Amino acid sequence: MKKAYEGLQENVRKLKTPKIDVWANKYPDKTYTINIETPEFTCICPKTGLPDFAMIRIQYSPAKWCMELKSFKEYLIFYRNIGIFHEHVINKMLEDLVAACKPRWAQITGEFNARGGIRTVVSASYGVKCKV
């Protein structure tokens, strides 16, 4: 039996998102962590067309580049009208962050508001998190 949402995410990895700008890290010899949180993330459920809301938490250890936050805010706003599953949006964000910044390691967690009594938390990571 075919599900109503089958095929809706076939091209999610090819989604053309806004560019995440970076700036040069002046401490590439140091291992440190940058934490970014935004409680205002929204996207659209691809099955129901209803809005999904989430807290997005990012941790990463920069090497040569740090993420520029204004461009990242524009990147997040892009998703407001995009139908995308929670699992896919977090993994897409991780791929885009890694492509832009090339960090030592990164982790992104999305804590999506409950819908129908079910709360979803999705985490994706890249590299090995170092203990500092």
Catalogue the active-site residues: 45, 52
The distance from CA 59 to its chain's CA centroid, rounded to whole angstroms, is 11
| Cα four-point dihedral sign 35, 107, 69, 44 | negative
Gap between the Cα atoms of 72 and 65, Å rounded: 14
